[in-house]
Amino acid sequence: MADAAIRTASQVLELPAPLPLDGGQSLSGVRAAYETYGTLNPDKSNAVIIFHALTGDQCVASPHPITGKPGWWVRMVGPGKPIDTDRLFVICANVLGGCYGSTGPASLAPDGQPYAMRFPVITIRDMVRAQVALLDALGIEQLHAVIGGSMGGMQALSFAANWPERTRAALVIASTARHSAQNIAFHEVGRQAIMADPKWKGGDYYGAKGPDNGLAVARMAAHITYLSEEGMHEKFGRKLQDRDAKTFGFDADFQVESYLRHQGLSFTDRFDANSYLYITRAMDYFDLAEEVSGGEGSGRLADAFRASKARFCLISFDTDWLYPTIESRTIAHALNAAGAPVSFVELSAPFGHDSFLLDVPALDRVIAGFLAQ
């Protein structure tokens, strides 16, 4: 299998300076766990960052550290693949606030106890700031591209808007420039499910059994938003799970129930509940126009990109109702108004928001073409 040939390395960097945060605090001793693929060329001009999504991790094309499953974007990243590691040096870091080796609520605070809810509330821009510090440490002045889907797309936008001289291109897939009321509402359901679990204990559950039930419900609610209605219908319909008739009870009679319960439960093996709270909060706070205007709320999205000389490519999917096409189109229009070179395309795929992770050949073509420049 070609994937075996990827040159990969796992590393953890401790940032040399305290990281200032949008909330006004700063964090010292921040660690960034990251994975690299391919080889950095001598003039350090072939690097790209892939920003991962909400529950993603740095193992974009290497086995998952807990589940052992193949990397989450192994179909896109590797030798000869659209994000071609024969040519590009790919960096993917676990986000600030995450639970795969980067500093987050489960990390130990200076007092030797986990931060838990003492961890400061962070923003998308804080996550990006940590990765800019990583680039500084690697001595990479300018990236060939920043790439991200979903929350990764938000980070790519924030990077291009706030550090415009540090990338030549930005590829934003199935994403948005701000979280909508509906987006925030779904996240709030998830957070309340976690906090309502008695095992959450105000976040101080480390060393004991965590709020698995709450976290599983949060994942179940979120998972629905990642699929399309028609995709779900096609996969499950009203089919019953391992039985011939309804039980007139509250077991998982339907296949879709069984599937969601499985998704929820398996998620608790690989994700920290407090990380889920902090990362969803960061997404809810994301409003790029506001972020760049200094929080006054009067910012125009186009102004966010005034200083950028990067090429942009926005991709949406016709069945994605979490971050629907109109969100990508809005970003593309803002970029047009700012005079930036921008391409936008809505691709047809049946998988809803998750389309960016799945087999969509047109996506491969667009990504390969955009990065080949």
Partner 1 sequence: MTALRPDLAVIAANVAPGSRVLDIGCGDGQLMAELRDRSGIDARGMELDPHGVADCVAKGLSVMQGDADTDLADYPDAAFDYAILSQTLQTTKRPDLVLDELLRVGRKAFVSFPNFAHWKVRASLLWNGRMPVTRLLPIAWYETPNIHHVTVRDFRELVVAKGYGIEGEWFLSGDKYIGPAAAAWRAEHAVFLLSR
Shortest reach from residue 20's CB to partner 1, in Å: 35
Report if residue 156 touches partner 1, rule: CB under 8 A.
no
Closest CA to 321 of 227, 231, 184, 232: 227
Report if residue 333 touches partner 1, rule: CB under 8 A.
yes
Report if residue 309 touches partner 1, rule: CB under 8 A.
no
- From 138, 184, 307, 368, residue interacting with partner 1 (rule: CB under 8 A): 368
Report if residue 136 touches partner 1, rule: CB under 8 A.
no
- Binding range to partner 1, per CB under 8 A, among 36-44, 204-212, 274-282, 365-373: 365-373
Closest CB to partner 1 among residues 17, 362: 362
Question: Is 28 annotated as catalytic?
Answer: no
Query: Distance of alpha carbon 226 from its chain centroid, rounded?
Result: 13
Q: How many residues bind partner 1 (CB under 8 A)?
A: 22
Which is the catalytic residue, given 62, 102, 107, 150?
150
Cβ neighbours of residue 189 under 8 Å, at least 6 residues apart?
218, 221
Residue 355 amino acid letter: S
Question: Is 320 annotated as catalytic?
Answer: yes
- Binding range to partner 1, per CB under 8 A, among 139-147, 196-204, 248-256, 339-347: 339-347
Query: Distance of alpha carbon 5 from its chain centroid, rounded?
Result: 26
Closest CA to 312 of 334, 289, 297: 334
Question: Is 353 annotated as catalytic?
Answer: yes
- From 342, 354, 355, 356, residue interacting with partner 1 (rule: CB under 8 A): 342
Report whether 221 contacts 190 (CB < 8 A): yes
- From 67, 113, 247, 373, residue interacting with partner 1 (rule: CB under 8 A): 373
- From 130, 170, 277, 366, residue interacting with partner 1 (rule: CB under 8 A): 366
Shortest reach from residue 329's CB to partner 1, in Å: 8
Report if residue 130 touches partner 1, rule: CB under 8 A.
no
Compute the C-alpha angle 93/98/104, nearest 5°: 115
Closest CB to partner 1 among residues 56, 352: 352
Distance CA 217, CA 264 (A): 6
Report if residue 345 touches partner 1, rule: CB under 8 A.
yes
Distance CA 124, CA 12 (A): 20
- The label of the residue with tokens 């701000």 reads 178
How many C-alpha atoms does 285 have within 13 Å on its Cβ side?
Answer: 20
Shortest reach from residue 336's CB to partner 1, in Å: 7
Closest CA to 143 of 341, 334, 340, 371: 371
Shortest reach from residue 344's CB to partner 1, in Å: 5
Q: Which residues of 248-262 are buried (b: 16+ CB within 10 A; e: fewer)?
A: eeeebbbbbbbbbee
Distance CA 58, CA 72 (A): 9
Closest CB to partner 1 among residues 4, 372: 372
Distance CA 358, CA 74 (A): 10
Report if residue 362 touches partner 1, rule: CB under 8 A.
yes
Report whether 308 contacts 326 (CB < 8 A): no
- From 313, 322, 331, 360, residue interacting with partner 1 (rule: CB under 8 A): 313
Residues with a known catalytic role: 150, 320, 353
List contacts with partner 1 (CB under 8 A).
311, 313, 332-333, 336-337, 341-348, 362, 365-366, 368-370, 372-373
